[in-house]
Amino acid sequence: MKKIFIKTFGCQMNAYDSARMRDAMFVHGYQETNNPEQADILLLNTCHIREKASEKLFSEIGRLNEFKEKRKQEGKETLIVVTGCVVQAEGDEILKRSHLVDIALGPQNYHRLPELVASYNRKKGRVLLADFPADSKFDYLPKTKATSATAFLAVQEGCDNFCTYCVVPYTRGCEYSRPASDIIQEAKDLVATGAKEIMLLGQNVNCWHGQGASDLGDLIRQLALIEGLDRIRYTTSYPSKITQNLIEAHKDLEKLMPYIHLPIQSGSDKILKAMNRQYTAKGYEEIVASFRKARPDIAVSSDFIVGFPGETDDDFQETMEVVKRVRYASSFSFKYSPRPGTPASIMKNQVAEDVKTKRLMILQKELMEQQQEFNSNTVGKILPVLLTEKGKKEGQLVGYTPYLQGTHVSLPDSFLNKIVMLKITKASATSLTGVEA
């Protein structure tokens, strides 16, 4: 059996895409391997959100070429394939800068990977597909299989919001929502192959508006009827598109985990407007309050961008004040970095790098203290933890609470992929430790 090595960069959506490419290649006789020296296909699934994404890609291509050359000396052919958002944004440049890439596919074309690999001919030249086809790629993908007790399921992708700092609308295209019937069938397939928890994915997941349900809340209510599916999560949500029905689902459904990732990006209305975020800081806080009213124990996480063009000390202070009022269970925070082709990249009043660094350190210190506080409040409690992986230490397993807290426990492998009641004995800012209750 031929083998494929896949390295994934970026978000959960990319992880889902990589899994679907693995499924598609499996149907055509390929097995996934973690050893690039054994692989007939070396695949890099890229992300364009982070800084210097393309430079990191070329560095990785060079590393993989060492394996390709070694196999060539053994008389074995190897293809280097690059997929994902960097291809969508810079496909021509990738082929121009690196003669090592054989096939380059944008995120809307990865379903064509098997046919392109099968028909690849070096004499006819390398392949680039980075258009937006009229047909949905989901219609051409095989049934998916769970590889652990947790699984990703894409329900929506693309974005119509055009935040001024973001490349997603240009790399993933306009919003597309899959029909509820397709999503439910995929969820059943995942559960049938071992999934107990499903994370619903979308660039703006709560903007889902597919056939067969009124909104994401209604879709989740239908998914909750699937026998054997114990937990449901979703990410990432856009604040102003939250519906009351979705909020109420957190109150009504035991299977819907008490966790919401709700990026705010900034606490300054001036900066939010410059970012083209379609809400105010006050409106955001009201949405959080609505979730907490429906589900008082809900954990809230967020994303923050520090040093957006034009951000003053007062603007940053407004962000800090929002953070202190809302209080977060976890968060992701980054310094603003320009993405080529976005409106923010050519804005005046770019913030100095040292100022961004100083502000980020202040913000992260506060967020880490809040995360420590949230985790410490679980010490002594008994929580259901879905154990999904082996820990670094012998005899240790790792899983997640309903609040998405990573939790370590000393238990035999027979507990793997099961929900176990654990008494939390210790908490750090990044993880918990427990014992079987």
Mean pLDDT, rounded, for 211-227? 97
Judged by DSSP in three states, 177 sits in strand
Q: Which pLDDT value is given to residue 37?
A: 92
CA torsion sign, 125 to 127 to 128 to 134?
positive
Task: List the structure tokens of 67.
Answer: 């394996």
285-377 maps to CATH 3.40.50.410: no
**Span 373-377, mean pLDDT?**
98
Q: How far apart are CA 128 and CA 109, in angstroms?
A: 10
Residue 109 has a pLDDT of: 87
Within 141-214, residue ranges assigned H as helices are 168-171, 180-192
- Residue range 143-257, CATH number: 3.30.750.210
For the record, the structure tokens of 44 come out as 């890099």
As a whole number of angstroms, the distance between CA 87 and CA 290 comes to 40
Name the β-bridge partners of 32: 4
pLDDT recorded at residue 52: 66
Choice among 168-182, 277-291, 301-315, 346-360 with the minimum mean pLDDT: 168-182
In degrees, rounded to 5, the angle at the alpha carbon of residue 397 between the alpha carbons of residues 392 and 401 is 120
Mapped onto helix, strand or coil, the DSSP state of residue 290 is: helix
Using DSSP's 3-state secondary structure scheme, residue 209 falls into coil
Q: Distances in Å between the alpha carbon of 295 and those of 216, 259, 299? A: 17, 10, 9
Q: DSSP labels for 365-425?
A: HHHHHHHHHHHHTTTT-EEEEEEEEE-SSTTEEEEE-TT--EEEEE--GGGTTSEEEEEEE
The two tokens of residue 4 are 């494929």
CATH of 382-436, one of 3.30.70.920, 3.30.930.10, 3.40.50.300, 2.40.50.140: 2.40.50.140
Q: Is the predicted pLDDT of residue 262 greater than 90, yes or no?
A: yes
For residues 81 and 41, is the Cβ–Cβ distance under 8 A? yes
Closest-CA residue to 27 (of 113, 98, 147): 113
Read off φ and ψ for residue 41, nearest 5 degrees.
-130, 130
Res. 65: pLDDT tops 80: yes
CATH number of 2-129: 3.40.50.12160
How far, in Å, CA of 384 to CA of 365, rounded?
29
Closest residue by Cα to residue 103 from 78, 128, 86: 128
**How many whole angstroms separate alpha carbon 261 and alpha carbon 309?**
25
Please state whether the peptide bond connecting residue 378 to the residue before it is cis, i.e. omega within 30 degrees of 0. Answer: no
Residues 6 or more apart from 125 whose CB is under 8 A from it? Answer: none
Given a cut of 90, is residue 270 above it in pLDDT? yes
Does the pLDDT at position 93 exceed 90?
no
432 within 8 A of 397, measured Cβ to Cβ = no
Q: Which residue has the higher pLDDT, 52 or 377?
A: 377
Sketch the domain layout of the chain as residue ranges: 2-129, 143-257, 285-377, 382-436
The two beta strands, 382-390 and 396-400, are antiparallel
Please indicate whether the domains covering 285-377 and 382-436 agree at the CATH topology level.
no
User: Average model confidence (pLDDT) for the chain?
Assistant: 93
| 130, two tokens | 């980075």
N residues, the chain: 437
Q: Answer yes or no: are the C-beta atoms of 248 and 294 closer than 8 Å.
A: yes
pLDDT band at 104 (very low <50, low <70, confident <90, very high): very high
Pairing of strands 419-427, 432-436: antiparallel
